Amino acid sequence: MAEQTHEQWLEELATDSRRKQEAFMNDIAHKLKRPRVLEKPVHPFRGAPDFWQEYEWTLEERTQRFTANFHSNGGHVSHLSTMDEAKQFIKEKATELGARYIIRQNQPELAEMKLEEALPNVSLSVWNSNENENWKARAAEADFGVVVADYAAAYTSSIAVLSGKDKGRSVSLLPTVLIVIIPLERLKTKLGEILIPLDEAGRESLPAGIHFISGPSRSSDIENDLTIGVHGPGVVYALLVG
Amino acid sequence: MSAPTGTKVPPTVKGRADLALNDEFLRKAVKFTTERLRNGKHAATAEHGNWEEWRERGRQIRLHTIAHLDYYLNLFADNARANGVHVHFASTAAEAVKVSLAIAKQVKAKSVVKSKSMVTEELHLNHALEGLGIEAIETDLGEYIIQLAGETPSHIIIPAIHKNRFQIAELLSKEAGETLEADTTILAGFVRKKLREKFLEADIGMTGCNFAIAETGSMVLFENEGNARMVTTVPKTQITLMGMERIIPSWSDLEVMATLLPRSATGQKLTMYMSGITGPRRDVDADGPDEMHIIIVDNGRSNQLGDPEFQELLNCIRCGACLNACPVYRHIGGHAYGGTYSGPIGAVLTPALQKNVGDWDDIANASSLCGACYEACPVKIPLHEMLIYLRRRKQEGGHRDLAEAGGMKGFSAIMGNSGRFKGVVKLGKLGQRLVSRNGEIRLKLGPLKGWNSYRVTPSLPKQSFRDKWGTLEEELRHGLNELSPDARSRMEQLVRSREQDGGGHGHG
């Protein structure tokens, strides 16, 4: 008998799955005692209540609330005026904490910073900048991961990072310390301002990973005692720039 | 102490609760933790404001989705497939296990790292994987601890709620091969290092699913530790097991769920991580799984559809707020419920999923029907009413207590006839002379045993309400006939003045 390839195996499963899908949906309709719903139903309660849709803070309030919320989650926040100040901040932290390996996203804002020149004694790698590297391993060994946020929401102090060729999910996850630069114009009031556009963008434009980060990794699983840095970064610096 | 592996677990809720009540640490820990979570929820919902409106919105979204589940689930499956996900459907636990094992075999997996998933607990999947010689590692800190202990979760949010740090240090020391101090930071530090290696070498990452977004085929995970992100980022193959009812229509609806779930579960504004995964890694990406499978599991869920009493069970978002609010759960802990899900939601969900109301009847009775679970529920599931429906179904299904049924029959015969009632009371008055002291009966024998174990029965009074009725009735009639002269003149005065005013404004 010829060896079945992985693709053939997957195809077999897919055929099975499609058949089962029909049965599954028909069973649901049958149990709901009505015919199958094939047209998009009217959803009168989509999303947050109306009063919430209009809720908005001024930039100053957003900055204050983000800072307060992120602090109470155990994170650190610095408000800086320019990217140059952010570069200074990273340089000082790297020296202070003795960072030897840093990984950064391959984002233009970070390239312009020229961190490599500022930190000659640090091994700095740029995510997915060549094909033959084991990038997950590079992120896992890093002391610092440096990323620029796509968005942030002040109400819950959540930073949104979207994955892509130049933006690894590992960079905000595997290093011991995470440094996130948030350009102030990307700081929104509430989550909905980031989530609703994802609906508008549609399935085909979504990246594989959309991650909201609201502070350092934590757990209270041992006797309710708060532990920081269980699996993800235990130290998170949010740099509000602008 | 909670029962270690191999110890016989009592077959009834009462037996398991007795075990829990004898364990002082467990009782204190459960009380402390549930109070902490409950207070956190109160503070978070008060700070957020308009909580009732958010609850109602959450309920409406869940009701709408479940009422059109065939449409939304179908849409989700089609979109997930378009994203490159391999979607599978499993009607039963056995089918879900079969698909999971087939994938594990196909990719020649040696180890599976898992983030928290109640569905896999339902399926006893770890056991099945181990049967194939595949190591299955729970990576949520609490889940990892109870896996080492060979136990099951006792709280949906804090699974190792019943273990103290010394027990945990002992378990982890055995794993480490050296003695670890019973210090939270040291213990968590060991787990971080140990599991980091496991994440990096695992062939499969396995997750549950908090919400699945129909319109884009994305799955969403809420967590604090980062282990769910690890599991969905590092291994080559990802398998997600989701209950068929986890669906919400859109990301816009996720805003409502993200408002309700963390606040209700732990009092957080949002968990430290909320991740939306849309398909396997793109060709150009350097991390994320190469291959992603989603197994959609029924396992008794669809039996609630079209059942007016239980359909709302499918609205549950698994926050655990009803456990923290429940006075019974707070005393007996999760293991006493004997199923995968504990607390009020478990008391209803377990028999509902398994369709064996009779076998689980005592769970429905382990509730005071106070309604605290309903008050706490972020999507307003009337759990306390469902507990009554369960009790009724148990009766209708013939799973009744013969002694209780006989007792009720006798009670009805006596109460239905005043002569018989009088006779029985008379007998009781005579009989109680033997056992009554100072108006109290403390005898713990026969029918009085259950009641008098924790309470005192008052003795029948010399003169009962019925004995006094003749006199009472006489007094009432007499009093009504003869109005005192004072009152009469006051009332006459009132009527006269009203007539003079022309009776225009009666409602002063």
Q: Clarify whether residues B489 and B421 are in a common domain.
A: no
* DSSP-assigned letters across all residues of B306-329: T-TTTGGGGG-----HHHHH-HHH
Residues B410 and B435 in one domain: yes
pLDDT of residue B6: 41
Q: How far is A200 from chain B (nearest CA, A)?
A: 9
Q: Does B425 share its domain with B284?
A: no
Nearest-by-CA chain B residue for A136: B287
Are B407 and B496 in a shared domain? no
Contact predicate B50/B56, CB 8 Å = no
Residue B29: inside a domain: yes
CA pair distance B150, B172, nearest whole angstrom: 13
Mutation choice for B interface testing from A222, A225, A227, A236 by most B CBs within 10 A: A222
List of chain A residues whose C-beta atoms are within 8 Å of the C-beta of residue B250: 46-47, 199
> Residues B117, B175: one domain?
yes
Contact (CB, 8 A) for B352 and B164: no
Over the Cα atoms of chain B, what is R_g?
A: 30
Helices (runs of H) and strands (runs of E) counted in chain B: 23, 13
Determine the structural domain holding residue B55 and report its residue range. 13-304
Q: Which candidate from B225, B233, B278 shows the least CB-CB separation from A206?
A: B278
Determine whether the interchain pair A203/B217 forms a contact, defined as Cβ–Cβ distance below 8 Å.
Answer: yes
CA dihedral (B494, B495, B501, B502) in degrees, to 10, reads: 160
- B24 found inside a domain: yes
A155, with CB counted inside 10 A (0-12, 13-18, 19+), is buried
- Of B261, B268, B192, B179, which is closest to residue B220 (Cα–Cα)? B261
Q: What is the predicted pLDDT for the residue at A71? A: 97
Structural domain A59-241, CATH architecture: 3-Layer(aba) Sandwich (3.40)
Domain endpoint, select from B263, B283, B304: B304
Domain shared by B235 and B285, yes or no: yes
Whole-structure pTM over 0.80, yes or no? yes
Tell me which chain B residues have a C-beta less than 8 angstroms from the C-beta of A42. Answer: none
C-beta atoms of A49 and B284 within 8 A:
no
In a domain, residue B221? The reply is yes
Chain B nearest-CA residue for A195: B251
CB contact under 8 Å between B282 and A207, yes or no, is yes
pLDDT at residue B475 in the model = 79
Min Cα–Cα distance to chain B from A35, Å = 10
pLDDT in tens, chain B (508 residues): 333 444 467 778 778 888 777 778 888 888 888 999 999 999 999 999 999 999 999 999 999 999 999 999 999 999 999 999 999 999 999 999 999 999 999 999 999 999 999 999 999 999 999 999 999 999 999 999 999 999 888 888 888 888 999 999 999 999 999 999 999 999 999 999 999 999 999 999 999 999 999 999 999 999 999 999 999 999 999 999 999 999 999 999 999 999 999 999 999 999 999 999 999 999 999 999 999 999 999 999 999 999 999 999 999 999 999 999 999 998 888 888 888 899 999 999 988 888 766 666 577 777 888 999 999 999 999 999 999 998 888 878 776 667 777 777 888 888 888 888 888 888 888 888 888 888 888 877 777 777 787 788 888 888 888 888 888 888 777 766 666 778 778 888 888 887 776 544 444 3
Last residue of a domain, one of B272, B304, B336: B304
Judgement on whether residues B413 and B481 belong to the same structural domain of the protein? no
Query: Across the interface, do A28 and B259 touch by the CB < 8 Å criterion?
Result: no
**Same domain assignment for residues B109 and B179:** yes
**B302 and A31: CB-CB below 8 Å?**
yes
Among B35, B89, B163, the strongest candidate for a mutation testing the A interface, having the largest count of A CBs within 10 A, is B89
Residues B408 and B495 grouped into a single domain: no
- Report the pLDDT value the prediction gives residue B503, as an integer from 0 to 100: 46
B245 plus B193 within the same structural domain: yes
All residues of chain B having their beta carbon less than 8 Å from the beta carbon of residue A33 are: 306
Q: What is the pLDDT of residues A196-214, one digit of tens each?
A: 999 999 999 999 999 999 9
Residues of B in contact with A31 (CB under 8 A): 302-303, 305-306
Please tell me the distance in Å from A9's CA to the nearest CA on chain B.
9
What distance in Å separates the CA atoms of residue B364 and residue A154, rounded to the nearest whole number? 44
Contact A211 B286 (CB under 8 A): no
* Statement to judge: residues B270 and B411 lie in one domain: no
User: Which among A16, A208, A210 has CB closest to B282?
Assistant: A208
CB atoms B271 and A169 under 8 Å: no
pLDDT for res B442: 81
Q: Which of A231, A235, A236 to mutate to test the interface with B (most CBs of B within 10 A)?
A: A231
Indicate yes or no: CB of B226 within 8 angstroms of CB of A232. Answer: yes
CA within 13 Å, CB half, B393: 21
pLDDT at residue B357, as a whole number: 63
Q: What are phi and psi for residue B150, nearest 5 degrees?
A: 70, 35
Query: Is B173 within a domain?
Result: yes
Which CATH number goes with the domain that contains B224? 3.40.50.10420
CA distances (Å), origin B40, targets A106, B251, B262, B325:
40, 26, 10, 12
- ipTM value for the complex: 0.97
- Reply yes or no on whether the pLDDT at A95 is more than 60: yes
pLDDT attached to residue B420: 86
Number of domains chain B is built from = 3
- Chain B residues whose CB is inside 8 A of the A69 CB are 269
Query: What pLDDT does residue B507 have?
Result: 47
Cβ-Cβ pairs closer than 8 A, A with B, add up to 283
Counted residue by residue, chain B has a size of 508
**C-alpha to C-alpha distances, A159 to A115, A147, A214, nearest whole angstrom:** 22, 11, 6
Same domain, B416 and B488: no
Alpha carbons B116 and B146: distance in angstroms, whole number? 12
Contacts of B158 in chain A (CB under 8 A): 220-221, 224
Of B83, B233, B302, the CB nearest to A28: B302
